Amino acid sequence: MLESTTAPNTAVLVSLDFGAPDYAESLEELRLLAESAGVQTVALVEGKRQRPDASTFAGSGKLDEIAAIVEQHEVPLVIFNHDLSPAQMRNLTAKLQARVIDRTMLILDIFALRAQSHEGKVQVELAQLKYLSTRLVGMNMDMGQQKYAVGARGPGETQLELDRRKLDRRVQLLKERLEKLRRHRQIQRRARNRSDVFSVSIVGYTNAGKSTLFNRLTHANVYVANQLFATLDTTARKVFIEGSGQVVLSDTVGFIRHLPHGLVAAFRSTLEETTFADLLLHVVDANSPERHDQIAEVNKVLHEIGADKIPQIVIFNKIDLQGLPPAVKRNEYGKIASIHLSAKTGAGMDELRAALAEARDVQAQSAQPQEWHPLND
């Protein structure tokens, strides 16, 4: 094990270009993910390959380059912008004499850092244990001394060193806890449906400004930061919006490119809240050059969880950064398709409230039973 004199959360980032069209965006997200995890980047190592090396993913030449940086700067952590197999992680750890984690582990670590509610913590632990269960051999390198290091948050050393049978029992226990929490949510949802309350879920790419919009509408104090996955737990508030009456507004976890499938599965009970909404507010950073790709990524996850048929209004947020005025755009059927606003300054919020009232009226009309008229012979 390399004895490091540097801070425990310094790292070398590694990203290889295999010709994917979104490589540059994926690399920028790696930087933001590392920053959100509290990592100080010592160096970024890039390279181009046609395919991953089966043994070490990066190949011997690139591996020597990484190893030289790790040794020179005594860096304890190397983060790959890719998913690594257990064998690759084991080989890289032995070669680099540093802790090695991949993109999925980095995202899991941020989730562990952000989870506040009991349900959120259970979901994170379940996702971590299921992912790490196949990687215990490559992960057991002095983890006890890195309890608070990036990639080692969450279940901790004792659970990760359990044998497979105990690990499976823990996973089953967590699944049972989540099922109880899911049933509790169902009871709450049924009560809400009986009271005929309009339900709105805020969804969107991470760091698009969902929580800022939620706070603006509800006057709540949900944690807001310029970080990826600043909000993890679903927060719901019942608020009165003029013209709409009582509305239940839910703020959800943000989505990201290549979001690990295991995370989507683990957070299904939380994301399930979205599938029962009457309306989705799909928040987009209007200034992001990747906004169209981000919209597509969010819609892909919505499809995966069965929420793609729910009516949605696209909220182009952060117009204050461009000095643009608020705007409302309708589709060819006259329904509101998008609203341009600033959740930070409040510009465009009157238009949003009017849109919610309009959507509430449409939903109420569609819910009314139709009169039945017998056919005349």
Please provide residue 281's backbone torsions phi and psi, each rounded to the nearest 5 degrees.
-100, 105
Cα-based distances in Å from 300 to 177, 204, 205, 250: 28, 11, 11, 20
Comparing 82 with 220, which gets the higher pLDDT? 82
Domain around 14? 10-160
147 exposure class (CB count in 10 Å sphere: 0-12, 13-18, 19+):
exposed
- Residue 349 inside a domain? The answer is yes
The reply to whether 137 and 204 lie within a common domain is no
The reply to whether 352 and 252 lie within a common domain is yes
- Residue 184 inside a domain? The answer is no
- Residue 189 inside a domain? The answer is no
Distance in angstroms (rounded) separating the CA atoms of residues 236 and 188: 11
pLDDT of residue 223 exceeding 50, the answer is: no
Residue 30 bridge partners (DSSP): none
Residue 238: pLDDT band with limits 50, 70, 90: confident
pLDDT of residue 19 exceeding 60, the answer is: yes
17 exposure class (CB count in 10 Å sphere: 0-12, 13-18, 19+):
middle
The reply to whether 241 and 360 lie within a common domain is yes
pLDDT of residue 180 exceeding 60, the answer is: yes
- Residue 2 inside a domain? The answer is no
The reply to whether 345 and 226 lie within a common domain is yes
The reply to whether 200 and 154 lie within a common domain is no
Residue 246 bridge partners (DSSP): 240
DSSP state letters, 165-183: HHHHHHHHHHHHHHHHHHH
Residue 190: pLDDT band with limits 50, 70, 90: low
Residue at a domain's end among 137, 160, 183:
160
Question: How many domains does one find in the chain?
Answer: 2
Residue 370: pLDDT band with limits 50, 70, 90: very low
- Residue 170 inside a domain? The answer is no
- Contact of 199 with 276, CB cutoff 8 Å: yes
The reply to whether 283 and 333 lie within a common domain is yes
The reply to whether 245 and 323 lie within a common domain is yes
- Residue 181 inside a domain? The answer is no
Angle between helices 164-194 and 118-132 (to 10 degrees): 140
Angle between helices 23-36 and 103-114 (to 10 degrees): 40
Q: Report the pLDDT value the prediction gives residue 4, as an integer from 0 to 100.
A: 41
Q: Which amino acid is at 151?
A: G
Q: Report the pLDDT value the prediction gives residue 15, as an integer from 0 to 100.
A: 96
Furthest C-alpha separation in the chain: 93
In terms of phi and psi (left: phi > 0; alpha: psi -120 to 50; beta: otherwise), the region of 182 is: alpha
Residue 135: pLDDT band with limits 50, 70, 90: low
- Residue 175 inside a domain? The answer is no
Distance in angstroms (rounded) separating the CA atoms of residues 174 and 330: 45
**Average predicted confidence (pLDDT) for the chain:** 80
Q: Report the pLDDT value the prediction gives residue 260, as an integer from 0 to 100.
A: 67
| Residue 354's CATH number | 3.40.50.300
| pLDDT above 90 coverage of the chain, percent | 39
- Give the pair of three-digit tokens for residue 27: 């690399």
| Residue 113's CATH number | 3.40.50.11060
Q: Report the pLDDT value the prediction gives residue 62, as an integer from 0 to 100.
A: 95
Helices (H), the chain: 23-36, 60-73, 86-96, 103-114, 118-132, 136-139, 157-160, 164-194, 210-218, 261-266, 268-275, 291-304, 349-367
The reply to whether 140 and 284 lie within a common domain is no
DSSP state letters, 241-276: ETTTEEEEEEE-PPB-TT--HHHHHHTHHHHHHHHT
Residue at a domain's end among 132, 160, 188:
160
The reply to whether 201 and 332 lie within a common domain is yes
DSSP run (H or E) holding 339: strand 336-340
Residue at token pair 């971590």:
128
- Contact of 315 with 216, CB cutoff 8 Å: no
The reply to whether 219 and 346 lie within a common domain is yes
Distance in angstroms (rounded) separating the CA atoms of residues 114 and 285: 21
User: Which of the given ranges, 110-124, 167-181, 202-216, has the highest pLDDT on average?
Assistant: 202-216
The reply to whether 120 and 223 lie within a common domain is no
- Residue 321 inside a domain? The answer is yes
DSSP state letters, 22-58: THHHHHHHHHHHHHHTT-EEEEEEEEE-SS-BTTTBS
Comparing 145 with 99, which gets the higher pLDDT? 99
- Contact of 283 with 128, CB cutoff 8 Å: no
Nearest alpha-carbon partner for 93 in 43, 146, 33, 46: 146
Model pTM score: 0.70
The reply to whether 149 and 243 lie within a common domain is no
170 exposure class (CB count in 10 Å sphere: 0-12, 13-18, 19+):
middle
